[in-house]
Structure formats: C-alpha cells, structure tokens
C-alpha cells in the first residue's frame, strides 16, 4: 500500500509539472508573437538635442540628470546591453516598473530617444 501511495504522488507531481511546462510554453509563444507584431523602429536620423529634450521631459525623474539612475536603472552604458530597436520597444511598451510611452510620445520621438540611448556605451 505504501508503494501505491508513492507511485500516485509521483504521478500527480508529474501531471502538475507537465501542466506548468505547457502553460509556460504557451506564455512564451504569445510573447514572441507580440514582439513580432510590434512596430519596427521608424527610419529617421538621430537628433541628439531633441532626444535630450524628450529625456528631460519624460525620463529624468526616474533615470536621473546624467542617466545615473534613481528609481529606474542607470542608462549611462545601456547601448552596450540593448540595441536601438530593443530600446524602442521598451520605451514604447514599458517593462517592469517602467510605464509605456506609446500613448504620450510620438513614434519618431521614441525612436530618436532609443537611438540616442543606443549610442551610450
């Protein structure tokens, strides 16, 4: 009887584990689809002055005067970690505690800030 109890518990654990695995695969699949559907970085030249102005208006409270980070992370060398396209998607859609800016900034402004930050290496 003890053996059947152990086999049953092991079987239940396996079923629960498989259910969790399948739910994670579906979640990851939907994230990949969302990233693929996200608009690409608009093609526009970098305007550093305009990017700094948008940064001062929208980002400085969390990321600091010199990109050193306050509530938000340090961005002084963010270009070593993320490309302009990745930064564009993060700024547009938000991530973690960062809000999305797609409703408050124009796509061209977001792209300009993303290109400006991508140069920070």
pLDDT at 34 over 70: no
DSSP class of residue 104 equals T
Q: Which residues are annotated as a binding site?
A: 59, 62-63, 98
Rounded to whole angstroms, how far apart are CA atoms 31 and 23?
12
**What average pLDDT score do residues 98-113 get?**
94
Please give the average per-residue pLDDT across 60-89, as a whole number. 94
**Which domains, ranges and CATH numbers included, belong to the chain?**
48-119 (1.10.760.10)
Phi, psi of 59 (to 5 degrees): -120, -25
Q: Rounded to an integer, what is the distance from CA 45 to the centroid of its chain?
A: 23
Q: Detail the residues annotated as belonging to a binding site for heme c.
A: 59, 62-63, 98
The model's pTM: 0.69
Give the mean model confidence (pLDDT) for residues 91-102: 93
Write down the mean pLDDT value for the chain. 86
Question: In this structure, are residues 101 and 110 in contact, taking their beta carbons and an 8 Å threshold?
Answer: yes
What mean pLDDT comes out for the span 94-111? 94
């Amino acid at each position: 009887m003890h053996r059947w109890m152990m086999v049953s518990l092991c079987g239940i654990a396996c079923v629960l584990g498989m259910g969790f695995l399948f739910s994670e695969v579906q979640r990851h699949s939907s994230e990949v689809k969302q990233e693929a559907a996200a608009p690409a970085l608009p093609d526009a030249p970098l305007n550093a002055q305009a990017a700094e102005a948008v940064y001062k208006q929208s980002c400085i409270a969390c990321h600091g005067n010199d990109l050193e980070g306050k509530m938000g992370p340090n961005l002084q060398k963010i270009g070593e970690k993320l490309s302009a396209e990745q930064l564009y998607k993060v700024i547009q859609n938000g991530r973690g505690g960062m809000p999305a800016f797609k409703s408050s900034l124009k796509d061209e402004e977001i792209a300009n800030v993303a290109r400006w930050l991508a140069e920070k290496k």
